[in-house]
């Protein structure tokens, strides 16, 4: 993962809602807005946004993914920070895009890369909020799945530290936490067997610790894991880390 | 066409026993590496980055360092040969062996030798070549292929090996106690060492400044192999050069820890040249064969970072896809993440045939995280996916992406599609005649669509003046 540049922080931000929140997880996007507003940040949602382009990029169809990336860079043009409730989509903006434009660098693409923050990273490292003042009513055990696209970024540590600082929350470690959940977007479609096995192993490790809630910074991992868990008859309550921050406030 | 990828199919067909061996062996490798590396170094990442920069520097000036290494080796009395292709390497080795009238030799573990399929070639040409590394010896008895760079028999368990030893007459009684198995092999191999007329090894590092080359093993087999024979041939990839002996401090410390979780391998040999007059044993003739076999092409490609690889196997151990599929799934000498990058480009003409390998990854990045020379493997896999698409190589895993790009660049169409996706909640989509969708939904329960709900919520808030 490339080293991220010094990115600007501001009290006004643009929200990149992600296609998964657009289609399935509206509450994660709402929680992002609510938490940021709670911190005094005003959030704008450019209505023409669609997707970061990652499905085409990971499939190797860079002609297609560059088109989507250019659209995305246009929609989020300007100098405001772009906040994303997904380590994966954020990494697409600041890493994947640089890779697919390496032969023909593009100023708009670079600008988007330099302004993009995964939301937990933004709160912890951007806004400098090192402790979360929220509290849960009863003791809550959280299993935190560090999503793979946040490797090498500040997001993992930021999320862990913020979760741990919530009253009544215990983050319970589980085995082989460096292992991927097996989603990988189109990977789960073209490698269904391996993807399913990886997910089941991840669930075995997580469920062994009997968490109350499975938490991640990526709804894609959670969609895959909870989808497997339900089909396997062992459903697990799952939430995005930003939902945990929001829920601990009420 | 959308279909099942060969590696996924392989993982589906693999026996539970073989898979259990691979998962067990590789998970342990990952845990040991982590413990030892982090115990000894407060900031292993700094060391990985230093190693990467030394390798990058060397690769940038590879021709210069090769010339320097040749000069140093020659001054030490070593005969230096260059092999542009695998065929060149095989012929060079055969002609050295013929000039010394060698018909029997031992060979320590060498991935370069695997890469050029040296054993079957020598056998065809009347030279008996015995593998002296225990794992490789078992592979040879089985007529199998190594499935891991460092642990060639990671896919076998002790019962498999005990059966092989009984079948091949290494012992006349089945015994699957690991220590007993090792003793049986030892008795067999000891005789062979004494009968051999030459030994072949690889090398882990060649120091350009002094021409000394380093060889690491845990069994001492290369040492045994070299001691009694007059001829030593080392087959070495040209990327194994490092500038100076002092660089060994970085690489040897990283290699053992990354490969097997050892601070240092049990044996680390430094070979300077043929035996001197004062030495009681050791080869009188030492030949180094530098192997290119596509490496120069890789160096000129946009995946040149893969040549930093020091063959520790840490990326294989940690890779969840490798763990499920085993090294054999990669249909090449090098399996796992490093193989998924190296195999399609090292054997250039095989790119179309191996273009599916770079797709066998969820791009989780664990391989990069453990790599002792910080190879950005996920980036290289992505570049190779792009290459396959640009070269229009048909692949089972290609999902057509232009409809997606059209949708994702047409905001009003996108918004409509999001709202419409709610209809899916009332449709039995799992019976749609699309095989991958059926497979996906067969294993997973899709959440209900809330398409467009967040946009509506934002809009309502705006209208109410809440923001």
Work out the angle at residue A229's Cα, subtended by the Cα atoms of residues A225 and A232, and round it to the nearest 5 degrees. Answer: 140
Partners of A49 on chain B (C-beta within 8 Å) are 411
Domain boundary among A84, A107, A126: A126
Per-residue pLDDT reduced to its tens digit, A54-113:
999 999 999 999 999 999 999 999 999 999 999 999 999 999 999 999 999 999 999 999
Q: Where in the sequence is the domain holding A174, given as residue range(s)?
A: 135-247
CB nearest to A194's CB, from B325, B447, B467: B325
Structure tokens at A234: 């062992």
Same-domain pairing of B316 and B383: yes
Same-domain pairing of A59 and A156: no
Same-domain pairing of A190 and A220: yes
Same-domain pairing of B340 and B261: no
Of A167-181, B77-91, B346-360, B402-416, the one with minimum mean pLDDT is: B346-360
Same-domain pairing of B375 and B281: no
Read off the pLDDT band of B349 (50, 70, 90). Answer: confident
Whether residue B443 is contained in a domain is answered as yes
Interface of A with B in 4-23 (CB under 8 A): 17, 19, 21-23
Given an 8 Å threshold on Cβ–Cβ distance, is B450 in contact with A191? no
pLDDT of residue B435: 75
**Shortest Cα distance, chain B CAs vs residue A35, angstroms:** 13
**Shortest Cα distance, chain A CAs vs residue B153, angstroms:** 22
Same-domain pairing of B23 and B77: no
Whether residue A2 is contained in a domain is answered as no
Whether residue A97 is contained in a domain is answered as yes
Read off the pLDDT band of A1 (50, 70, 90). Answer: very low
For chain A, what is the mean pLDDT?
Answer: 94
Same-domain pairing of A162 and A117: no
Which among A16, A185, A191 is the top mutation candidate for probing chain B, defined by the most B β-carbons within 10 Å of its own β-carbon? A191
C-alpha separations of A244 from A144, A218, A249, B89, B118 in Å: 11, 13, 9, 61, 59
Supply the CATH number for residue A196's domain. Answer: 3.40.50.11810
3-state secondary structure of B373: coil
Domain boundary among B264, B293, B322: B293
3-state secondary structure of B445: coil
First to last CA, chain B: 47
Q: What is the DSSP letter of B399?
A: -
CB nearest to B443's CB, from A30, A53, A196: A196
pLDDT of residue A10: 61
Of A91-100, A198-207, B105-114, B425-434, the one with minimum mean pLDDT is: B425-434
**Nearest Cα to Cα of residue B384 among B414, B350, B419, B435:** B350
CA distance B350 to B352: 6
Burial of B51 (0-12, 13-18, 19+ CB in 10 A): buried
Burial of B200 (0-12, 13-18, 19+ CB in 10 A): buried
Count the Cβ atoms, other than its own, within 10 Å of residue B467: 13
Report the predicted TM-score, pTM, of the whole model to 2 decimal places: 0.96
Same-domain pairing of A120 and A150: no
Given an 8 Å threshold on Cβ–Cβ distance, is A190 in contact with B421? no
Q: Where are the beta strands (DSSP E) in B247-299?
A: 267-271, 285-291
Three-state SS letters, chain A: CCCCCCCCCCCEEEECCCHHHHHCCHHHHHHHHHHHHHCCCEEECCCCCCCCCHHHHHHCCHHHHHHHHHHHHHHCCCCCCEEECCHHHHHHHHHHHHHHCCCCCCHHHHHHHHHEEEHHHHHHHHCCCCCCCCEEEEEEEEEEECCHHHCCCCHHHHHHHHHHCCEEEEECCCCCCCCCCCCCCCHHHHCHHHHHHHHHHHHHHHHCCCCCEEEECCHHHHHHHHHHHHHCCCCCCEEEHHHHHHHCCC
Same-domain pairing of A147 and A214: yes
CB nearest to B445's CB, from A26, A57, A231: A231
pLDDT at residue A217 tops 80: yes
Structure tokens at B323: 């763990």
> What is the average per-residue pLDDT within B326-337?
96
Per-residue pLDDT reduced to its tens digit, B362-391:
999 999 999 999 999 999 999 999 999 999
Structural domain count, chain A: 2
Whether residue A226 is contained in a domain is answered as yes
Answer whether A172 touches B (CB < 8 Å): no
Whether residue B153 is contained in a domain is answered as yes
CA distance B67 to B73: 10
pLDDT of residue A17: 97
Same-domain pairing of A119 and A222: no
Whether residue B303 is contained in a domain is answered as no
Whether residue B302 is contained in a domain is answered as no
Whether residue B300 is contained in a domain is answered as no
Domain boundary among A83, A104, A126: A126
C-alpha separations of A138 from A142, A248, B138 in Å: 12, 11, 58
Count the Cβ atoms, other than its own, within 10 Å of residue B416: 14
Read off the pLDDT band of B128 (50, 70, 90). Answer: very high
Same-domain pairing of B416 and B391: no
Same-domain pairing of A117 and A22: yes
pLDDT at residue A5 tops 70: no
Given an 8 Å threshold on Cβ–Cβ distance, is B385 in contact with A178? no
Which among B458, B460, B467 is the top mutation candidate for probing chain A, defined by the most A β-carbons within 10 Å of its own β-carbon? B458
Structure tokens at B47: 């060391």
Per-residue pLDDT reduced to its tens digit, A127-170:
999 999 999 999 999 999 999 988 989 999 999 999 999 999 99
Same-domain pairing of B274 and B369: no
CA distance B302 to B400: 25
Structure tokens at B253: 């410390």
Beta bridge partners of B207: B242
Same-domain pairing of A168 and A222: yes
Domain boundary among B345, B365, B399: B399
CA dihedral B23, B24, B26, B32 (to 10 degrees): 150
Domain boundary among B346, B376, B399: B399
Read off the pLDDT band of A3 (50, 70, 90). Answer: very low
Partners of A50 on chain B (C-beta within 8 Å) are 407-411, 414
CA distance B386 to B411: 26
Structure tokens at B243: 């500038």
Same-domain pairing of A88 and A33: yes
CB nearest to B363's CB, from A24, A184, A190: A184
Work out the angle at residue B69's Cα, subtended by the Cα atoms of residues B65 and B73, and round it to the nearest 5 degrees. Answer: 175
Same-domain pairing of B2 and B36: yes
Three-state SS letters, B43-96: CHHHHHHHHHHHHHHHHHCHHHHHHHHHHHHHHCCCEEEEECCHHHHHHHHHHH
Same-domain pairing of B395 and B414: no
Structural domain count, chain B: 3
Per-residue pLDDT reduced to its tens digit, B261-308:
999 999 999 999 999 989 888 999 999 999 999 999 999 999 999 999
CA distance B24 to A178: 16
Burial of B45 (0-12, 13-18, 19+ CB in 10 A): exposed
Same-domain pairing of B368 and B239: no
Which among A194, A225, A234 is the top mutation candidate for probing chain B, defined by the most B β-carbons within 10 Å of its own β-carbon? A194
Given an 8 Å threshold on Cβ–Cβ distance, is B421 in contact with A23? yes
CA distance A192 to A186: 10
Whether residue B184 is contained in a domain is answered as yes
Structure tokens at A56: 């085409």
Whether residue A7 is contained in a domain is answered as no
Count, residues in chain A: 250
Same-domain pairing of B123 and B230: yes
> What is the average per-residue pLDDT within B103-110?
96
Q: Where in the sequence is the domain holding B445, given as residue range(s)?
A: 409-463
Same-domain pairing of A65 and A103: yes
Given an 8 Å threshold on Cβ–Cβ distance, is B448 in contact with A176? no
CB nearest to A192's CB, from B8, B389, B454: B8
Same-domain pairing of B208 and B285: yes
Partners of A187 on chain B (C-beta within 8 Å) are 359, 361-363
What's the complex ipTM? 0.95
Partners of B458 on chain A (C-beta within 8 Å) are 33, 45
Question: Quick one: closest CA in B to A58, which residue?
Answer: B382
Given an 8 Å threshold on Cβ–Cβ distance, is B399 in contact with A23? no
Same-domain pairing of A88 and A145: no
Whether residue B306 is contained in a domain is answered as no
Given an 8 Å threshold on Cβ–Cβ distance, is B447 in contact with A223? yes
Partners of B366 on chain A (C-beta within 8 Å) are 148, 151, 178-180
Given an 8 Å threshold on Cβ–Cβ distance, is B445 in contact with A22? no
Partners of B320 on chain A (C-beta within 8 Å) are 179-180, 182, 194, 198, 201
pLDDT of residue B466: 67
C-alpha separations of A242 from A142, A199, A246 in Å: 13, 23, 6
Same-domain pairing of B194 and B239: yes
Same-domain pairing of A240 and A151: yes
Whether residue B55 is contained in a domain is answered as no
Supply the CATH number for residue B190's domain. Answer: 3.40.50.10420
Number of Cβ pairs closer than 8 Å across A and B?
217
**Shortest Cα distance, chain A CAs vs residue B44, angstroms:** 14
Structure tokens at B427: 């449709």
Location of structure tokens 């003791």? A139
């Amino acid at each position: 993962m490339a080293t991220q540049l010094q990115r600007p922080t501001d009290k006004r931000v643009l929200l990149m809602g992600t296609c998964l929140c657009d289609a399935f997880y509206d509450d994660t996007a709402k929680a992002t807005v609510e938490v940021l507003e709670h911190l005094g940040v005003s959030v704008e949602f450019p209505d023409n946004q669609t997707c970061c382009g990652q499905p085409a990029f990971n499939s190797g169809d860079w002609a297609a993914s560059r088109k989507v990336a250019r659209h995305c860079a246009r929609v989020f043009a300007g100098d405001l920070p772009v906040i994303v409730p997904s380590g994966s989509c954020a990494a697409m903006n600041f890493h994947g895009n640089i890779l697919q434009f390496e032969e023909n660098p593009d100023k708009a693409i670079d600008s988007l890369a330099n302004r993009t923050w995964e939301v937990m990273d933004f709160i912890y490292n951007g806004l400098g909020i090192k402790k979360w003042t929220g509290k849960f009513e009863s003791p809550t055990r959280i299993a935190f799945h560090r999503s793979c696209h946040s490797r090498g970024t500040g997001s993992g540590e930021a999320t862990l530290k913020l979760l741990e600082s919530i009253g009544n929350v215990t983050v319970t470690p589980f085995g082989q936490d460096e292992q991927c959940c097996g989603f990988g977007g189109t990977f789960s479609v073209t490698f269904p067997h391996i993807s399913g096995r990886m997910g089941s192993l991840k669930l075995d490790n997580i469920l062994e610790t009997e968490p109350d809630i499975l938490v991640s910074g990526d709804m894609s991992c959670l969609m895959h894991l909870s989808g497997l868990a339900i089909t396997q008859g062992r459903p697990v309550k799952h939430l995005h880390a930003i939902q945990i921050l929001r829920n601990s406030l009420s | 066409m959308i279909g099942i990828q060969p590696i996924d199919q392989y993982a589906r067909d693999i026996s539970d026993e073989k898979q259990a061996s691979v998962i067990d062996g590789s998970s342990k490798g990952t845990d040991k590496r982590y413990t030892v590396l982090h115990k000894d170094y407060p900031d292993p990442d700094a060391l990985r980055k230093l190693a990467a920069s030394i390798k990058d520097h060397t690769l940038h000036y590879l021709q210069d360092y090769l010339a320097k290494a040749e000069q140093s080796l020659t001054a030490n009395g070593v005969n230096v040969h260059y092999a542009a292709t695998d065929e060149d390497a095989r012929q060079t080795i055969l002609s050295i062996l013929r000039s010394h009238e060698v018909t029997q030799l031992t060979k320590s573990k060498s991935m370069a030798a695997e890469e050029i399929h040296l054993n079957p070639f020598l056998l065809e040409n009347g030279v008996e070549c015995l593998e002296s590394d225990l794992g490789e010896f078992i592979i040879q008895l089985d007529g199998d292929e190594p499935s891991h760079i460092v642990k060639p028999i990671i896919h076998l368990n002790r019962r498999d090996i005990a059966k092989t030893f009984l079948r091949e007459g290494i012992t006349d009684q089945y015994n699957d106690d690991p220590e007993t198995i090792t003793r049986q092999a030892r008795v067999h191999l000891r005789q062979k060492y004494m009968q051999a007329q030459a030994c072949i090894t690889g090398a882990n590092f060649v120091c350009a400044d002094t021409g000394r080359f380093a060889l690491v093993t845990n069994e001492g087999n290369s040492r045994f192999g070299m001691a009694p024979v007059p001829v030593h041939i080392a087959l070495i990839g040209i990327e194994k050069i490092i500038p100076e002996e002092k660089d060994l401090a970085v690489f040897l410390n990283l290699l053992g820890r990354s490969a097997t979780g050892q601070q240092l391998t049990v044996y680390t040999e430094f070979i300077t040249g043929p035996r001197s007059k004062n030495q009681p044993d050791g080869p009188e003739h030492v030949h180094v064969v530098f192997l290119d076999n596509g490496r120069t092409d890789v160096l000129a490609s946009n995946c040149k970072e893969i040549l930093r690889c020091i063959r520790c196997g840490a990326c294989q151990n940690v890779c969840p896809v490798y763990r499920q599929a085993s090294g054999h799934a990669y249909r090449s000498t090098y399996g796992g993440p490093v193989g998924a990058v190296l195999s399609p480009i090292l054997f250039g003409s095989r790119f179309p045939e191996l273009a599916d390998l770079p797709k066998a990854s969820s791009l989780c990045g664990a391989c990069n995280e453990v790599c002792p020379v910080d190879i950005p493997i996920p980036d290289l896999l992505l570049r190779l996916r792009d290459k396959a698409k640009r070269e229009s190589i048909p692949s089972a895993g290609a999902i057509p992406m232009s409809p997606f790009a059209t949708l994702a660049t047409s905001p009003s169409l996108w918004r409509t599609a999001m709202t419409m996706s709610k209809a899916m909640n009332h449709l039995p989509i799992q019976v749609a005649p699309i095989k991958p969708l059926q497979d996906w939904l067969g294993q997973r329960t899709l959440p209900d669509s809330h398409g467009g709900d967040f946009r509506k919520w934002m809009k309502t808030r705006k209208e109410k003046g809440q923001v």
